[in-house]
Amino acid sequence: MGKIAFVFSGQGAQYPGMGKELAQVSPAAKAVFDLADAIRPGTSEQCFNGTKEDLTITSNTQPDMFAVEVAAASALLEAGVTPDVLAGFSVGEISALGFSGAVSVEDAFRLVCRRGELMQIASNEVSTGMTAVVKLPPEKVEELAAAAEQVYPVNYNSAAQTVCAGLSSSMADFRAAVKAAGGRAIPLKVAGAFHSPFMHSAAVGLVEVLAPMEFKEPNYPLYSNVTAQPYEPGKFKELLSKQLENPVRWQAIVENMAAAGVDTFIEVGPGSTLTGLIKRILPDATALNVEDAATLKSAVEAVKG
């Protein structure tokens, strides 16, 4: 076996009940939820018993996702599965940041709480939406987005899937153009145009939040959404704020990890969206996910034998 990557889920994967089993079977996971509740009371209750509507509100989604993701990663570590490298998709990058040790889990959780609030505020400023485009190469999606009014490619997920964000008023025409070009456009149920220029005010706000924070060398190399390369010393504040209004280069991150020797990817957190993308990018890679007791057990067995 080559190197192991822990990859942390992105917004949109959340669901009611997420993380509950992990807290029941893993003391390390429960400790993460206890920490989250101490800083943001009700976080575990929201994860375990909240409604789908509650979990869709960005200011709730992000701290809740963080808690589940770090809990899943901590449960794996407790079971003797150690990563060689880390990456997270959008909000997952903040979870990975806290798990990496570059900052404390407490500081990373406070950061993700404020990040969610800032992105919620930015989302409320103008009516926007996001659409996943499949069956078209990224270059064609870029061309179609450039022809639309304020529509931007924001997630480069795989060779055949690119997500775009933009004005709600532009989305119907954009989706029609995608269909005419032979692609398929799938509207996403998210609360804003994440990773686009519409998040500029949130990025500016995050600069202020990051200013007093101190970062150190992470325990595991952490790949940046903006550069698709491991963070360099002194770049955390700059890249974490830029991340909000720049595309997530997921395909490049996965390919760069593989080039560095990673052949096993474990998605930590709700759902298996990243697992599916990784299998499309690297069909021969081992892609697992950990979100509950059963997937934790099977991932540990797969890695440790």
Determine what percent of the chain is predicted with pLDDT higher than 90: 95
Q: What pLDDT is stored for residue 1 in this prediction?
A: 74
Q: Helices 27-39 and 58-78: crossing angle, nearest 10°? A: 150
Tens digits of residue pLDDT in 186-228: 998 777 899 999 999 999 999 999 999 999 999 999 999 999 9
Average pLDDT over residues 270-277: 95
Identify whether the C-beta of residue 13 lies closer than 8 Å to the C-beta of residue 74.
no
Q: What pLDDT is stored for residue 27 in this prediction?
A: 98
Indicate if the pLDDT at residue 304 is higher than 90: no
Paired tokens of 189: 């149920």
Average pLDDT over residues 7-21: 94
CATH assignment, 3-124+197-304: 3.40.366.10
DSSP 218: -
Most confident segment among 54-58, 144-148, 190-194 = 144-148
Whose tokens are 């440790």? That residue is 304
* CATH T-level assignment (fold) for domain 125-188: Alpha-Beta Plaits (3.30.70)
What's the pTM?
0.95
Question: For residues 221 and 247, what is the distance between their CA atoms, to the nearest angstrom?
Answer: 20
Identify whether the C-beta of residue 44 lies closer than 8 Å to the C-beta of residue 67.
yes
Q: What are the structural domain ranges in the chain?
A: 3-124+197-304, 125-188
Average pLDDT over residues 108-123: 95
Tens digits of residue pLDDT in 206-215: 999 999 999 9
Q: Helices 168-180 and 138-147: crossing angle, nearest 10°? A: 130
Task: Give catalytic residue positions.
Answer: 90, 195
Question: For residues 166 and 16, what is the distance between their CA atoms, to the nearest angstrom?
Answer: 28
Identify whether the C-beta of residue 6 lies closer than 8 Å to the C-beta of residue 296.
no
First-residue to last-residue Cα distance in the chain: 11
